[in-house]
Structure 1
Amino acid sequence: MKPDSFRAALLAAPLALLVLLGAVAPLGALLRRGTGETEVAPALPRTLRVLRQWDGNSLPDDMAFEALAADLAALRAAGPAGAEAMARAAERLAADVPALREVLPGTAERAERTRTTRAAAILVADPAWGERESWVALRRAGQAMSGFHLLSAIGLRITAEGGLEDGPRGPHARALLARGLCAAVLAVLGCLVLAWPLARWIAEAPPRRAAILAALTVLPLFSGEAARAVGWAPLLGPGPEAGLVVTTLGLLPLMVLPIALVLHRAGPRLPRAAAALGLSPRKVFWRISLPLARRGIAVGCAVVFAQALGVFIAPGLLDPEAPLAAGALAVAARGGDWGQAGALAVWLLLPVLPAAFLLRRGLRG
């Protein structure tokens, strides 16, 4: 490596490390939280060790019942911490088998009073442990990683046979994601329509005036999302339409500046020459101006779409009951349900991949 290249690499290393820590690491943490199982394994470690050797075709042997009794006894002996761990495990198991929400704590209480073998005590405490489905759900929830949270975020769950079925909140959960995606698409279209005349004005203005117009265009970004939302709230009132308007106007500079830059570099001579040769304004726009601005449009659409998917503050301030997936993510995070929050974040990030592909195609030479 040449000395100049080596020095350039050394200078760029801190920036690369910053990008790695600031972007890649949080995304990795979201993916880990969205695919990790952290509720059952800490509560029932002995049971899960035994179930690793179980074939899953029939009920497990007495060792599994003994291990479950030992785990439940240990949780009861741990006091409030054990009760909390048991409640989290029961809530997770209930997502696959709803009856297990009450079965796990009930079994722990009744099995302790049953004067028989520990394996029989578990069966006597609750007949749910005589069902293979209960043990399948317990073993599946005890894995290090699974698709439970990702499927739960869109209202699906895995059956004991390994198939998929729709949960009670399935249509509602998928509707939240669909509304968020539609809102982001509408924000992109709104920004694109509003940005084109302003971008052309900046691109065709003299340098001094263009600099002033560009500075005024960027000015709303410095006010902050919350300030814009509070300022628009008295004018628009609460509602999802108000949130969409605020989001569109707030992201407008991200669409205007890339288009204006591309149009400025291309210059106005080619559209003027086409018009002078008799091409109608509509054909000049579709055949000349729009292809010239394609890279700026691609960059603007990709950036606005990615930002619009992650906007929480404006819809939350203007409409606290806004039916968007972003609101569900915020509620899950505030409640400490990091698995659900991570899964929702993954689903919100997935549509950004086509936006990144659009950006790559737009920047291709």
Structure 2
Amino acid sequence: MRPEPLRAALLAMPLVMLVLAGAVAPLGLLLWRSVAETEVAPALPRTTRVLRHWDGQGLPDDMAFEALAADLAALRAAGEPGREAMARAAERLAADHPALREVLPGTAERAVETRTTRATAILVADPAWGEAESWAALRRAGMEMSGFYLLDAIGLRQTAAGGLEDSRRGPHARALLARGIGAALMAVLACLLLAWPLARWIAAASPRRAALLAVLVAFPLLAGEAARSFGWSLLLPMGPEAALASLFLGLLPLMVLPIALALRRADPRLPRAAAALGLSPRRVFLRVRLPSARPGIAAGCALVFAQALGAFIGPGLLDPAMPWAAGALAGAAKAGNWGEAGGLAVWLLLPALLGAILLLRSGAGKRV
């Protein structure tokens, strides 16, 4: 490698490490939590090992009942740490199968009082252990990874037979995601309509005036996320419409500046030449100005869409009842439900990545 590229790479390395540490690593950890299972296997290690060999048909054999009795006895003997581990495991199982919320602690208490074999004691302690669905939920939650949180984020759950059905949240979860994506699309359209005249004004201005206008347009971004979130908290009592309006204005610079840059790079004589050749203003716009601005429009739409999908996380931390998926993500993170937050993050990230790829490919493929 020549000295110049090597020196440039070494100079850029601290910035690369900063980006990896500050953005990629936290996001990767959140996405990992969307598939990781960390509550049940540490609490019930014997049971989860036995259930890995269960085919899911009918009830598991007596070894599973014996293993569950041994795990519950070990948790009881561990005292307070055991009770905490049992509570976390019960909460995770209840998220998949609500009937299991009180089953683990109840079984641990009643199985001790039953003077019979451990397998029979577990079956007698609670009727839930006579149902295949309870064991299937325990097996899914005891794996190292599962799709539970990803499915739950869109209102689905896996059945004992391996099919899918509505989860306890069902249509509500899908409505949250739909409203979040719909709000992002509305933000893109509103910002695009508002950005075009501002971008034209900046592109046609002198260099000094264009720089001043660009700073004024970028002021909402320069104010910082904290100031914007606080402003949203003042608007939230007015309802989601006020928050949407604030969102559009806050993201407007991300649309204006790329379009203005694309128009400024284009040859300003082309629209005048097209008009001189007899093209109507509408045809000048469609055949000259719009193709010239297409790379900036693509970049602006991708940026606004990606930012709008997660823009309500700030106000969602203040009011988790916000009717968008980002508010639910914020509420889950605030409550420490990182698996639920990770599942929502995946479904919010996917449309942002797909939209960015499609728009940027469209813009790059039609440069003038």
> TM-score, normalised on structure 1?
0.94
Shift of 1:6: 2.0
SS at match of 2:40: coil
CA distance in structure 1 between the partners assigned to 2:226 and 2:19 by the alignment? 26
The code of the aligned residue for 1:162 comes to G
Question: Which segment drifts farther, 252-261 or 119-128?
Answer: 119-128
2:282 aligned residue:
282
Shift of 1:117: 1.7
Shift of 1:354: 1.9
Equivalence map 1:25-40=2 (5 Å): 25-40=25-40
Residue 325 of structure 1 pairs with residue 325 of structure 2: yes
1:361 aligned residue:
362
2:55 aligned residue:
55
CA distance in structure 1 between the partners assigned to 2:311 and 2:78 by the alignment? 42
Once the two structures are superposed, what CA deviation does each residue of 1:243-268 show, in whole Å capped at 9, x if it has no partner? Answer: 11111111111111111111111132
SS at match of 1:35: coil
2:350 aligned residue:
350
Once the two structures are superposed, what CA deviation does each residue of 1:268-309 show, in whole Å capped at 9, x if it has no partner? Answer: 211111112221111111111001100000011101111111
CA distance in structure 2 between the partners assigned to 1:31 and 1:235 by the alignment? 31
Once the two structures are superposed, what CA deviation does each residue of 1:54-82 show, in whole Å capped at 9, x if it has no partner? Answer: 33334323222121111111112222322
Q: Say whether the 8 Å CA contact 2:236–2:243 is kept in structure 1.
A: no
CA distance in structure 2 between the partners assigned to 1:82 and 1:237 by the alignment? 43
Question: Which segment drifts farther, 49-58 or 339-348?
Answer: 49-58
Shift of 1:27: 2.4
1:210 aligned residue:
210
RMSD of aligned alpha carbons: 2.1
The code of the aligned residue for 2:268 comes to P
Shift of 1:231: 5.0
CA 1:337–1:319: 2 relative to 1, 3 Å? closer
Unmatched runs of 5 consecutive residues or more in structure 2:
none
1:137 aligned residue:
137
CA distance in structure 2 between the partners assigned to 1:139 and 1:317 by the alignment? 33
Equivalence map 1:1-365=2 (5 Å): 1-228=1-228, 230-231=230-231, 238-312=238-312, 315-316=315-316, 321-357=321-357, 358-364=359-365
Question: Which segment drifts farther, 324-333 or 11-20?
Answer: 11-20
Shift of 1:239: 1.0
SS at match of 1:115: coil
The code of the aligned residue for 1:363 comes to A
Q: Say whether the 8 Å CA contact 1:154–1:173 is kept in structure 2.
A: yes
Identical positions, percent: 75
Once the two structures are superposed, what CA deviation does each residue of 1:9-60 show, in whole Å capped at 9, x if it has no partner? Answer: 2222222222222332222212210001112111100111222233333432
CA distance in structure 2 between the partners assigned to 1:256 and 1:288 by the alignment? 18
CA distance in structure 1 between the partners assigned to 2:52 and 2:317 by the alignment? 48
Question: Which segment drifts farther, 105-114 or 116-125?
Answer: 116-125
CA distance in structure 1 between the partners assigned to 2:232 and 2:99 by the alignment? 47
Shift of 1:317: 8.7
CA 1:362–1:335: 2 relative to 1, 3 Å? same
SS at match of 1:99: helix
Question: Which segment drifts farther, 213-222 or 11-20?
Answer: 11-20
SS at match of 1:157: strand
CA 1:132–1:190: 2 relative to 1, 3 Å? same
Shift of 1:187: 0.7
SS at match of 2:363: helix
Q: Say whether the 8 Å CA contact 1:177–1:324 is kept in structure 2.
A: yes
Shift of 1:228: 4.1
The code of the aligned residue for 2:155 comes to G
SS at match of 2:34: helix
The code of the aligned residue for 2:362 comes to R
CA 1:323–1:296: 2 relative to 1, 3 Å? same
Q: Say whether the 8 Å CA contact 1:239–1:322 is kept in structure 2.
A: no
Shift of 1:316: 4.2
CA distance in structure 2 between the partners assigned to 1:71 and 1:188 by the alignment? 53
CA distance in structure 1 between the partners assigned to 2:51 and 2:237 by the alignment? 56
CA distance in structure 1 between the partners assigned to 2:80 and 2:234 by the alignment? 47
Q: Say whether the 8 Å CA contact 1:229–1:246 is kept in structure 2.
A: no
Once the two structures are superposed, what CA deviation does each residue of 1:206-255 show, in whole Å capped at 9, x if it has no partner? Answer: 11211111121112212224434655777896111111111111111111
CA 1:314–1:277: 2 relative to 1, 3 Å? farther
> TM-score, normalised on structure 2?
0.93
CA distance in structure 2 between the partners assigned to 1:215 and 1:178 by the alignment? 34
Q: Say whether the 8 Å CA contact 1:233–1:242 is kept in structure 2.
A: no
CA distance in structure 1 between the partners assigned to 2:240 and 2:232 by the alignment? 13
Q: Say whether the 8 Å CA contact 2:319–2:327 is kept in structure 1.
A: no
CA distance in structure 1 between the partners assigned to 2:208 and 2:106 by the alignment? 76
CA distance in structure 2 between the partners assigned to 1:132 and 1:163 by the alignment? 14
Shift of 1:183: 0.6
